[in-house]
Amino acid sequence: MTVIIGYILVIGCIMGGYLGAGGHIGILLQPFEAVIIFGGAIGAFVVSNSPKVLKASLGALAMVFKGSPYSKEFYLETLTLLSKIFVKIRQNGLLSVEGDIENPEQSELFKSAPKVLADHHAMDFITDYLRLMSSGSLDVHQLDNLMDIDIDTHHEEGHQPIAALAKMADGMPAFGIVAAVMGVVHTMESLDKPQTVLGGLIAAALVGTFLGILISYGFVAPLVGNLEQKLADSTKYYQAIKAGLIASMNGYPPPTAVEFARKVMFSTERPGFQELEEHIKANK
């Protein structure tokens, strides 16, 4: 919703200022220049990226128009789930969660956190490391390092479509210049036309530069910024889970291990200590 509001503000303020200065909206309607800019940019985008990045970019664009899933409610549910896992491990040992991590969809433990259960990336992260913890094949330092590598890989993979879209945004003004130059070429072919006609052709050519810059900095580049923030939220989420799991593996009591996870979260989504405690008690 905020993306749509932002786009309305971009269009409204720019068009409003132009019309207020006495401009005519008709001259800005240059569909063939839009075809040159969009077609050139999309073609270059396809050439410069692998199929997996193209697919990830389409998925990322769909995410832009959705709110971030990493809300306070989602964090509360995650922290409560971790608390239940840590309590079960504390009481019955690591092997007691083996059945839960092998069939999380059938586990009462994971079914108590439906939003987390629906996020297969989060489920893979939690269950994979619980499985490694229960196997006893890695010590806490090795597991800590592996988690860091895993989170870095997640961040790098998530950044690929962002980098691709950023390059596309950078190229839009250049394709706008291409459209403008082609308009000037067309104008030079029409020097025998009346002055009023030539003025219109020159104005139409300049619209290409305008559209390239507007599309780049008013529409595509803001999407890149939005996606970067969503990726940062996602990375922070996994860092919080990691902190809780490592604290539990180090032998801290469940409330302390959960507090390790809570303190890693961004302050805007981080639930308060008392709020978390009440939520855990209410969902026992």
Each domain of the chain, given as residue ranges in start order, spans 28-282
203-221 mean pLDDT: 90
Residue 5 CA from chain centroid, whole number: 18
A 10 A CB-CB count for 92 gives 10
| pLDDT tens per residue across span 1-34 | 788 899 999 999 988 888 888 878 888 888 888 8
Least confident stretch, 146-150, 205-209, 215-219: 205-209
The DSSP-derived string for the chain is -HHHHHHHHHHHHHHHHHHHTT--GGGG--HHHHHHHHHHHHHHHHHHS-HHHHHHHHHHHHHHTS--S--HHHHHHHHHHHHHHHHHHHHH-GGGGHHHHHSGGG-HHHHT-HHHHH-HHHHHHHHHHHHHHHHT-S-HHHHHHHHHHHHHHHHHHHHHHHHHHHHHHHHHHHHHHHHHHHHHHHHHTTTTS-HHHHHHHHHHHHHHHHHHHHIIIIIIHHHHHHHHHHHHHHHHHHHHHHHHHHHHHTT--HHHHHHHHHHHS-TTTPPPHHHHHHHHHHT-
pTM: 0.86
Spatial distance between the Cα atoms of 71 and 21, rounded to a whole number of angstroms: 43
> Tokens for 168?
């596309």
Spatial distance between the Cα atoms of 254 and 247, rounded to a whole number of angstroms: 9
pLDDT on residue 233:
93
Please tell me which residue, 150 or 69, carries the higher pLDDT value.
150
Contact 123, 117 (CB under 8 A): yes
| pLDDT tens per residue across span 73-102 | 999 999 999 999 999 999 998 888 888 888
